[in-house]
Amino acid sequence: MRAYLVLVVVTAVACGALTPLMRRLGLRARVFTPLRQRDVHRHPVPKLGGVAMAAAVLVGFAVGGVVPFLQGIYADDAAMRGLLVAVAVVLVVGIADDMWDLRWWVKMAGQVLAGLAVALGGIRIEAMPVGWIPVGNETTQVILTVFAVVLTMNAINFVDGLDGLAAGVALIGGSAFFVYSYLLTRTINQFDYANLATLLMALLVGACVGFLPWNLAPARIFMGEVGAMLIGLLMAAAAVAVTADVNALDGMRFRNVPAYMPILLPVAVLALPLADLALAVLRRTAKGTSPFSADRGHLHHKLVDGGYTQAQAVALLWLWAFLVAWGAVSLNFVDHRIVLPVLAVALAGAGYLTLHPLVERRRAVRNDAAAHPDERGDA
């Protein structure tokens, strides 16, 4: 555990030091997020924070390479090269999009290329999460892995709409995934529990810890496309790597990890981004517009429009991410007969906090319309 915590600290310090430098560069180069009707911010904010996050992750990779405990991970040269190439693709495509606002299909091509780099490096989906059906065909493994990377990148990008939201959700989900993958690896091999998924989550957590103070409302810098794609890449690569770890369990003989956790946790960690992505696609398709077209219908927009401040909306969505991700992880440590009722009550409370202002606002609109029927008719 100490080796991973060292990487968290190193990556956090590197990101915290590099973020203000990228902020100054973004201001000087005028790489701003434009002021659009759907946005919450009301003044230009530089958006090269993801570059600092990616650079910090690379620093963490380099430091991890000299830690004796982690040498088993770095012995797989192909996997390391694939990840480094994928991070390089994220940097190039993300910076280009932050500066020149690329067309959606160009960004998609870059995401596919990053996913291919990961898959061709040997980090592939080796078993389907439902029933853990082995995927023996290499071409199918590559296709499924690329799909997972692209899906996760876009899910994180969709949820990145309020100050501190995406970085906070990634920090909460990444920390839960870190604990889970560490525990899973200890279950598989108590003598050598160095693990790629745990390493990636340590780097992700460190980058988010270093970046988040600069991104809280009012944000002084945004992560931009680089940050969203980087978080999605690390999350997806870790989730894919877990499928290989589960295959290593002889006959699915878990000792202290429930057998359903490899299915539940990756979904739980990404529940909020994936839900927002699915709702956005359905909403835009129903309107006859492109699923990639931007609008002001995301979950965070609904909360702000319902009366929450930006900080309150972010805190509420963090709460949802925490309850779902850490609620799933807690099943490894606490009897489910205790966890599930407590989690149900907590989720009900979060649901009330989420829906109450929206219901009150609709009620106020109806009451106002009933009190002034003439004005509505004149309009």
8-state DSSP, 377: H
Neighbours of 138 (CB within 10 A): 12
**CA distances for 198 relative to 64, 211, 234, 377, angstroms:** 12, 20, 11, 62
Is 256 labelled a binding residue? no
Reduce the secondary structure of 96-115 to three states and give it as a string. Answer: HHHHHCCCHHHHHHHHHHHH
Quote the CA–CA distance of 154 and 233 in Å, as a whole number.
10
Q: Locate 333 and state its tokens.
A: 């440590």
Q: Where are the alpha helices (DSSP H) in the chain?
A: 2-29, 49-64, 71-74, 77-100, 104-120, 138-159, 165-188, 196-215, 224-247, 261-269, 271-286, 299-305, 310-330, 336-371, 373-378
Contact 220, 22 (CB under 8 A): no
Quote the CA–CA distance of 172 and 350 in Å, as a whole number.
16
Angle at 70 between CA 144 and CA 327, to 5 degrees: 60
Return contacts of 246-253, CB within 8 angstroms, 24+ apart: 246/127, 246/132, 246/184, 247/126, 247/127, 247/132, 247/134, 248/188, 249/187, 249/188, 252/132
Q: Which of 111, 54, 112, 27 is nearest to 230 (CA)?
A: 54
Quote the CA–CA distance of 87 and 234 in Å, as a whole number.
9
Reduce the secondary structure of 357-369 to three states and give it as a string. Answer: HHHHHHHHHHHHH
Quote the CA–CA distance of 233 and 14 in Å, as a whole number.
20
How long is the chain?
A: 379
**CA distances for 25 relative to 32, 90, 163, 264, 333, angstroms:** 11, 19, 20, 41, 46
Binding residues: 157
Binding residues for Mg(2+): 157
